[in-house]
Amino acid sequence: MRYSGTHKQETRERVLGIAARALRARGPERLGVAEVMAEAGLTHGGFYAHFKSKDDLLAAAVEEAFKDGRALWARATKDHPGVDGLARYIDFYVSDAHRDRIDTGCPIAALGGDFARSDSAAAKVFRAHFERLLGAMAERLPGEDAQARATLAASLFAEMMGAVLVARALGDHPSSSRTLEAARENLRARIGA
């Protein structure tokens, strides 16, 4: 059977999408190459046509997870400059829907604890993208002092992520949703939205 000229790239992208979801759902230690390849409809042996090693897959899956995160950021902030766009991102991030979808949600909330204890290539990719997000948040905050905006962005994100993690720990019940609602209100007040 002949494959199109883009078949290998399309296959790699399909594997990466599966791996990025599995990585967020299960963490790097429980990401299984055989399971990812099987879900993609491929053999374990076919893995090496796309990746050098599991570490290579992990770094690429982190990249893919952040690509998904950038798309969420773009949808939330599109046509909404400054603090208004940031408030819309907060509304998405600190929500029941985000709480309930660890596999497609923010990789920072899903994997922060895992990569905090690692100096792997995947952890380096993770940190670089995390800093990029904090920079994008800081750019939307008012004020002339870049360092103050960066510090506020990190503090805001810590509260956002903390609210999601606490809500996930509480489970899907009213106190979890109330925690998210209170955090959204506080975060919006902090940025003057």
Of the pLDDT bands very low, low, confident and very high (cuts 50, 70, 90), residue 5 is: low
Q: Does pTM surpass 0.85?
A: yes
Whole-number mean pLDDT of the chain?
93
Find the mean pLDDT for residues 2-29. Answer: 87
pLDDT at 103: 94
Reply yes or no on whether the pLDDT at 60 is more than 80.
yes
pLDDT at 49 over 70: yes
Average the pLDDT over 2-28 and give the result: 87
Amino acid, res. 184: R
Domain ranges of the chain: 7-191
**C-beta contacts of 175-182 below 8 A and 24+ residues apart:** 176/96, 176/99, 177/96, 180/94, 180/95, 180/96, 180/99
State pLDDT tens for residues 100-128: 999 999 999 999 999 988 899 999 999 99
Q: Give the model confidence (pLDDT) of 74-105 as tens digits.
A: 999 999 999 999 999 999 999 999 999 999 99
Is the pLDDT at 1 greater than 60? The verdict is: no
Task: State which fold the 7-191 domain adopts.
Answer: Tetracycline Repressor; domain 2 (1.10.357)
The residue type found at 174 is P
**DSSP assignment of the chain, as one string?**
----TTHHHHHHHHHHHHHHHHHHHH-GGG--HHHHHHHTT--GGGGGGT-SSHHHHHHHHHHHHHHHHHHHHHHHHTT--HHHHHHHHHHHHSSHHHHH-TTTS-HHHHHHHHHHT--SHHHHHHHHHHHHHHHHHHHTS-SS-HHHHHHHHHHHHHHHHHHHHHHHHH-SSHHHHHHHHHHHHHHHHHHT-
